[in-house]
Every structure is written in structure tokens, then in C-alpha cells.
Amino acid sequence: MTQPPDIADPQALRRNRRRAVTGAASDPFVHLEARDELHHRLAEVNRRFTRPAVICGLPGVWADFLPGAKVVPDDPLLALEPGAHDLVIHAMALHWAADPVGQLIQARRALCPDGLFLGVLFGGQTAAEARAALAQAEAALTGGLSPRVLPMAEIRDLGALLQRAGLALPVADSVTLRASYRDMRHWAADLRAMGEGNAMTARNRGPAPRALFQQAETLWRAHYPAPDNRLLATFELIFLTGWAPDASQPQPLRPGTATHRLAEALETRETPLPEAIKIPRDD
């Protein structure tokens, strides 16, 4: 079987995460927002989970998220036993996975029937301002582009991945956070605090042109201004919800078995299709 290419340099990613955990000034505020949102969502589920597991890249932030949870790293092969958990949370790491479907499939296999999967990761709108400013500045200075901001999936694509992984009742939704920064160094410091520095395999290993970040900051400030001459930055969190299949879950009705017409529920008049455009069906 062909293995997907590694989007991340594992050594660089481990280094970035280690520095995030050990840094004296670490403040992974987006992770803390994600924790709060997940707690809120779990509180709305009318169920008590007794065998939780948490998959993450920053155990220093997530190890105490759920009492008694098994905490495992987001390795390509997850250290989870099949059917051993009634709740699996993939916490702020799936955007670095070379094979996100594989991660979701493994999480689903680790669930007992009717177990709950919750995932949270950065979405495609994250760092949109920085991506645009850096690309424009680098193209003007060098005539080319190098990978500087991790490409992240859009919500419509991630919802489809839940279905591909075999999770039932899949839902994908997003929460958008916005922050303002004094300058690009201030923004980069927050990324380092979250272990989100550039760890892409295809990144340029040489030094960047001295004027690159200065010009990018000028463009960023011009196109995405915040009050007090600060820089506006977006962080999109995408939340994924799905259940391990079980016979007790609601099942879709077979087409043609409805006992009431939609027009009746909407209190409107039904207009039949002309014969010329009716779609033939096999009985």
C-alpha cells in the first residue's frame, strides 16, 4: 500500500512541541479555548464516560483534560486498543497528520459500539492573513514562494473524512477566534507557545531574506488592520463529532417509506415535475 507523504518533519515537529511545553513564557491560549469548548460540548451529551482516551501532541496541555483518561501521542500508529474506550478525543494535532483518515479510522476502532469521537484542529482560515502577506512579500522579493504556513483542511472536506472513517452521525462545525498583535514577532511567539512553528518537510532550511518579514508585516498591517495599529490574526477551530456505529442509533428510512409528504409539513402546494425531466427509477 502506498504511504501518504509526510507533510511534517517529525524531528522538527517534536522539537517545536518540546519547546512549547518547556518554554517559560508558554501560553497556548488557542488550546485552552479548545479545551473549554470541548468541555462545553461534553456537558451537553447525556452520558457518563468512564473509559476516555485523548490523542494529542502537547500532553503538558491535555494530560489533565479528563480524569483517568489514557493520553497517547498522535503517532502514525496510535497506541489504542480496539474497542477499549467509550470516548476518544483527538486534540489539536490532526492538522499535522500525513494520513488524517487513518487517524480517524484508528480512533473509531478504539471506540466501543456507540462510543463518541470528538476532534478539534486548526481549520483552513487559520493564519489566512499571515499566509497572504508572506506570499505577496516573498513573491515580490524573490520571484517565488516557499512553504511557510501549514496548509489546513476546509470544514467541508473534514466532514467527508468522518464518513470515510466509518463514523456514524458525523458533524463538522467551526469556531473562529480573532486576536491582535503588536507585530509579527508577537504573533510568531504565540505560535511557538503552541508548538505550531514551521515544521513542514518541504520548508526552506536556509535563512529568509532580511526584508521578507518586514515587508510582510507592512502588507499585513495595511490589508488586515486592527485597532491601535495592531495586526489582526484569525484562528479557526474545526470540531468533529461522530459515533462508533451501533444498532441503537437512529437509522435513515428506506426511500419511499415516508407516511407524510414534505409539502404537508411545510403547508405549501406540491408541484409535480414535468414528465420530460422525471428521473426513471428501478423498482
What is the separation, in whole angstroms, between the first and last Cα of the chain? 39
**2 is a domain residue:** no
What CATH number is given to the structural domain containing 161? 3.40.50.150
Q: What is the pLDDT of residue 75?
A: 95
HSE at residue 120, side-chain half, CA atoms within 13 A, is: 24
Q: What is the pLDDT of residue 142?
A: 80
**138 is a domain residue:** no
Its pTM stands at 0.84
**196 is a domain residue:** yes
Return the bridge partners of 71, or none: 54
What total of structural domains would you count in the chain? 1
Between CA 70 and CA 86 the distance in angstroms is 12
Low-confidence ranges of the chain (pLDDT < 50): 1, 277-278, 283
**214 is a domain residue:** no
Answer for the pair 235, 30: CB distance below 8 angstroms, yes or no.
Answer: yes
**172 is a domain residue:** yes
Q: What is the pLDDT of residue 271?
A: 74
Note the pLDDT tens digit of each residue in 58-79.
999 999 999 999 999 999 999 9
Q: Range of 60's domain?
A: 10-127+151-201+231-247
Mean pLDDT of all residues in the chain? 88
**207 is a domain residue:** no
In this structure, which long-range contacts are made by residues 42-51, counting pairs with CB atoms below 8 Å and at least 24 apart in sequence?
42/87, 42/118, 45/116, 47/116, 49/86, 49/87, 49/116, 50/86, 51/84, 51/85, 51/86, 51/87, 51/112
